[in-house]
Amino acid sequence: MSGKANERELFYGGKLGKMIRCETISNAFQQDLSKFYRFHEVLEQLFPNIHRVCEKHEFNGSLLFKWKGKGQGEPILFMSHQDVVEASGEWKHDPFSGEIADGAVWGRGTVDTKGSLFCFLQAVEELISKDYVPECDVYLASSCTEEIGGEGAPLTVKWLQDNGVHLKFLMDEGGMIKEEPMKGVKGRFAMVGCLEKGYGDIRFTAKGNGGHASVPQKQTPLTRLAAFMMDIENHNPFTSKMNPTVAEMFRRMAPYTEGPLGKVMKYERQLEPLLEKLLPKVNPLGAAMITTTLNFTMAKGSDGLNVIPQEASVTGNMRFIHHQGVEESLALVSKIAEKYGIETEPILIHQPCPVVDYKGKPFRLIEHVVKKMYPGVIVAPYAMTGGTDARFYTPVCENSIRFAPLEINEQQYQSIHGIDENISLSALPPAVDFYKRIVRHMEGWKE
């Protein structure tokens, strides 16, 4: 945390606090849109210039603003969702108080992702106040369904498609600026998400005769499911393979990484097979960046405490890596499930997203601005293991960059979807200035 906050930090913190105080928990089963419309009213009060100058579109609670430019070149888009997850547990400060204390703004959404939403809205608000007109059109998007995988982003993309909009690049949530982003990697890193894995929710169902639990049975639906899950856990069916994004991340991290892993990273090209084997054992996060993953999340058996179910099921959440995509990964899992008489049923599938080239101009622009704004910070591309709304934008954008320019510490990182979520006041001004620089660089940035 920073020391005594300055006037600008407190001003920004106060505005973000008002956004936090408007509770916007999304619910997949009963979405209350009225709370999002109240949030829109707060935004209108906080950012009057945007609402005066920009063209506003609303899609069942999700927002899109078009800031018309001079028409020079393809447009860009900044996005961060307005919905948040529930805030259970014991919090140091009320999760919807937006309280400023200990050099930070506290509350659900400060990091995920009203903090970045505030920063790019504030950046545009200030640029408009100076009568600045961007070279290209600038879009500002904020869905109210990101946390539930809902319709907000798809409806926004449909509007862009219907209006013939193709984006030069976009910036969504993803990586941030953090010290020691992986265990043993010393230094401050801006982790820029360039690769987002595919997504799958899969139901595995086993059937049997059922019966009374007082009469023991073998190979019941539940025991077969248990054996199947342990087989997956003990014998990972997916192949680990280094991809260019993660290889570049390791090359950039190598000089700052301690121990044997650092030495292997330094010679990644020569020792790639060794790194592929070593990662799963020493760094689960790194391992998830180079392989498909499957984790079991829900289970259903009988409704009676003394009833052997005729049918039982578990659901698994899969994240598909590019080199072993949806079809191959599902085939591998289905083959194992068949050994136990288990049926495999995909519930929801999203293909892996296009990979952003870390050598391309959009990434290099982000890297250039980070180095200007955050001296001493190392920029590294990385593979996201989670999902974002950006995955829906593939039809209108090949360069979807997952990065929010907020500097956070380990506690703040752990608070995402946890308790005591907060963002340092000192993180807000440079992030606002970051977005301003990105807009201004559209005037013709050259390295």
**CB distance 254 to 266 below 8 Å:** yes
Q: Which helix (H) or strand (E) holds 17?
A: helix 7-21
Mean pLDDT on 363-372: 97
DSSP 320: E
Rounded to whole angstroms, how far apart are CA atoms 388 and 402? Answer: 8
Residue 333 and residue 202 in contact, taking contact as beta carbons nearer than 8 Å: yes
Q: What is the pLDDT of residue 58?
A: 98
Q: Are strands 422-424 and 104-106 parallel, antiparallel or unpaired?
A: antiparallel
Strand ranges inside 24-147, DSSP E: 55-59, 62-67, 76-79, 100-101, 104-106, 138-142
Q: In this model, does residue 115 exceed pLDDT 90?
A: yes
pLDDT reading at 198 higher than 80: yes
Mean pLDDT confidence for 260-278: 72
Write a three-state SS string for 382-416: EEECCCCHHHHHHHHCCCEEEEEEEEECHHHHHCC
Half-sphere exposure of 104 (CA within 13 A, CB side): 21
- Residue 424: which residues within 8 A CB-CB, separation 6 or more? 1, 2, 103, 104, 407, 408, 409, 412
Residue with the larger pLDDT of the pair 402 and 270: 402
Amino acid, single-letter form, for residue 317: N
State the pTM of this model. Answer: 0.92
**Structure tokens, 327:** 């079809």
| pLDDT tens per residue, range 34-70 | 999 999 999 999 999 999 999 999 999 999 999 999 9
Token output for 430: 């440079």
Domains and CATH numbers, the chain: 7-178+376-441 (3.40.630.10), 198-350 (3.30.70.360)
Listing DSSP states for 160-209 in one string gives HHHTT---SEEEEEEEEEEESSSTTB-SEEEEEEEEE-EEEEEEEEEE--
